[in-house]
Amino acid sequence: MRDFAAELDARKSAGLYRSRRLISGPQQPALTADDQSVLAFCSNDYLGLASHPSVSGALLAAVPEVGVGGGSSHLICGHHDAHHRLELALAGLTRRSSALFFSTGYMANLGVISALAGRGDTIFSDRLNHASIIDGCLLSRARVRRYPHNDMSALADMLAGTSGHKLVVTDGVFSMDGDLAPLREMARLCREHDALLVVDDAHGIGVLGEHGGGTLEQLGLSEQEVPVLIGTLGKAIGTSGAFAAGPALLMDYLVQKARTYIYTTAMPPAVAMATCAALEVIRDEPERRNHLRHLVERFRTEASALGYRLMPSHTPIQPIMVGDNWAALTLSRELEARGLLVTAIRPPTVPEGEARLRVTFSAAHTDADLDRLIAGLADCRCHYPG
Ligand code: PMP
């Protein structure tokens, strides 16, 4: 039998062991973690909707009406009109013809990629794509070619040298770097080389674009240019689940073929109803996105002035680059000792030698919260290499 204990010990001595904190109470910047009060800068609740009263209220109001459980899969008898209404609202938000609701983003990527590409096809995937995209590629049994991060000339060469069906897949906003994929250029390359473009905008939906339609709205990219969009609902939207959006024909194809859609219990309809309420907040309160942008730009100016190395990102994902695993852990622990929760991200989530603190912002953070983070970073500067 494999020596699992030795493998865990090896992880510990390499500074790669992952531990969980026990959170109590609602998801919000002021968190109780392992019985300690902390101010968190590491959640993906970018708009502060996870505990917004309209969203929680919609969930509470939905339960007496539709109950708790999803009952069965969508294709048996679980496809509720609440799911249908949410799909219509998501298609509206993203300006696509139709949308299909999945239970998680991980499952959406697995299901969509493995349905749209198969044996004999080729998938082109950015080296920094999310783990669920990588796993979706593996599950498809297609040939997978990974191109260097956002390197369009490498992608163009690979596409030109490949025959057969081609699918190109990328994060819209990269989850650990916070930068954007060059989607206009990717759409052009895909048109030239007759490849299907799939964009996972898990971190852009709700945050980017004038109406919160995400990276594609910000860049003005239509359904013709980006036929398959994937978004998640557990981050800026504040609830849970995910969706694919695009032409009705492709969504119908996914209903027939995406195994993670077909063979799983439908998400509780009450969650779909709470999600519809969250989409209304996104529509009605654009000031949340504006405040978020303000926090991000303030942080960039003040953290750079302290000598912290940031990435070229203008999204709420603002990693502080450290490098060494232990150094990243030390900086994170020192901040935590000052009541600031910012998790260290280490390989394999990021490449070897690129450990970092993944600072994220939420519209629920105040300027005073940011003052505290900056003061903590100033205080911990001596623990930052370089
Ligand atoms: N795609 C990306 C880019 C992500 O960052 C994540 C979550 N971290 C997912 C997909 C998975 O979404 P979910 O959490 O809904 O499974």
Return per-residue pLDDT of the chain as tens, 386 residues. Answer: 999 999 999 999 998 999 999 999 999 999 999 999 999 999 999 999 999 999 999 999 999 999 999 999 999 999 999 999 999 999 999 999 999 999 999 999 999 999 999 999 999 999 999 999 999 999 999 999 999 999 999 999 999 999 999 999 999 999 999 999 999 999 999 999 999 999 999 999 999 999 999 999 999 999 999 999 999 999 999 999 999 999 999 999 999 999 999 999 999 999 999 999 999 999 999 999 999 999 999 999 999 999 999 999 999 999 999 999 999 999 999 999 999 999 999 999 999 999 999 999 999 999 999 999 999 999 999 999 87
pLDDT at 350: 95
Is 203 known to be catalytic?
Answer: yes
Report which protein residue has its CA nearest ligand 1's atom 5.
Answer: 175
Is 235 known to be catalytic?
Answer: yes
pLDDT at 314: 96
pLDDT at 15: 87
Number of the ligand 1 atom closest to the C-alpha atom of 240: 15
Number of the ligand 1 atom closest to the C-alpha atom of 241: 15
Report which protein residue has its CA nearest ligand 1's atom 1.
Answer: 202
Q: What are the structural domains of the chain? A: 22-51+286-383 (3.90.1150.10), 53-284 (3.40.640.10)
Backbone angle region of 298, left / alpha / beta, with phi > 0 → left and psi within -120 to 50 → alpha: alpha
CA of 161 to the centre of ligand 1 (A): 31
161 class by beta-carbon count within 10 Å (0-12 exposed, 13-18 middle, 19+ buried): exposed
pLDDT tens digits, 290-348: 999 999 999 999 999 999 999 999 999 999 999 999 999 999 999 999 999 999 999 99
CA of 100 to the centre of ligand 1 (A): 16
HEC string for 85-124:
HHHHHHHHHHCCCEEEEECCHHHHHHHHHHHHCCCCCEEE
The ipTM estimated for the assembled molecules is 0.99
Is 140 known to be catalytic?
Answer: no
CA of 153 to the centre of ligand 1 (A): 27
DSSP state of 384: S
Distance of CA 198 to the CA centre of its chain: 15
Mutate to test the pocket of ligand 1, among 44, 175, 229 (most ligand atoms within 8 A of CB): 175
CA torsion 286-242-253-92 (nearest 10°) is -20
Q: Please enumerate, as own/partner, the contacts of 87-91 that have beta carbons within 8 Å and a separation of 24 or more.
A: 87/243, 89/276, 89/279, 90/231, 90/243, 90/245, 90/279, 91/245
Q: How far apart are CA 217 and CA 219, in angstroms?
A: 5
Q: Which of 79, 83, 203, 365 is catalytic?
A: 203
